[in-house]
Structure 1
Amino acid sequence: MQNRLYEKYKNELTPKLLADLKLSTVMEVPRLKKIVSIGGARTTEAKDAYKTNEVYFVTEGSIKKATYSSYTKQNQDVVEIYPVDSKGKRRVWRWSDRKKILLHATQGDFVVKDVKDVYSIYLKDRL
């Protein structure tokens, strides 16, 4: 039995992507995999809410860095996505090299899905 996301992607999104991207076979349609991470369970709650002093972002094909406050002032339509588990508990991203992750983002390797203001990040599986 396939999961609901897989069935929706296969039956609804694959034909649309095939047409929209003008691909010749379904084998050319990008595939999605949900990003998962593993780690031990927390024994105590984190003391501070999520915070950052700097933000890396891509503009005009290059990676730039700005302070968090200046970036959010200039980009008020930004949606912040934090790592949480299925119970809503705080977790951490397992991506230590931010510039490498942004490079993957510029290549279209990440897809962000918004379902009723609940965001999921997917990573394309490049075989």
Structure 2
Amino acid sequence: MTHDIDDRVNLFLRSLEAFDFTAARTMCTEAATVRQNDGQGEQPIEESLERLRSFTAGVGSLSYDVIRRFRNPDEVFQQHVLHLTGNDGSRGDVHAAVYFRFQDGLIDRIEEYVYAEPALGAVVPEPPRAEA
């Protein structure tokens, strides 16, 4: 099953890269949900895919570069970089950690945490310490 869910996650990402949101939807359960760290809370997969469709209206191409991936039966957690090229030639990257949960071979839940990647050599300040 491990390779099977790897293949399914890869196929899901390839569908998004091809802007084939219908194919991506078919890889999910009817009740699939998505949670992102954007303050919008949990939403049905249809809403999430529609947001992505709207977001990519000005995008000429996108590709996922998976940095690392961890698996359990029916779960995948990965870190990736989404590379975007705008219709105007501009480029950008979105760093994310994503959790996929499967039910009966279909994606049932996605949790995506987008984060800023500090530039090489940048000094990252330590978080404030709690006072005793």
TM-score by length of 1: 0.25
State which structure, 1 or 2, has the greater radius of gyration over its C-alpha atoms.
Answer: 1
Structure number with higher strand proportion: 2
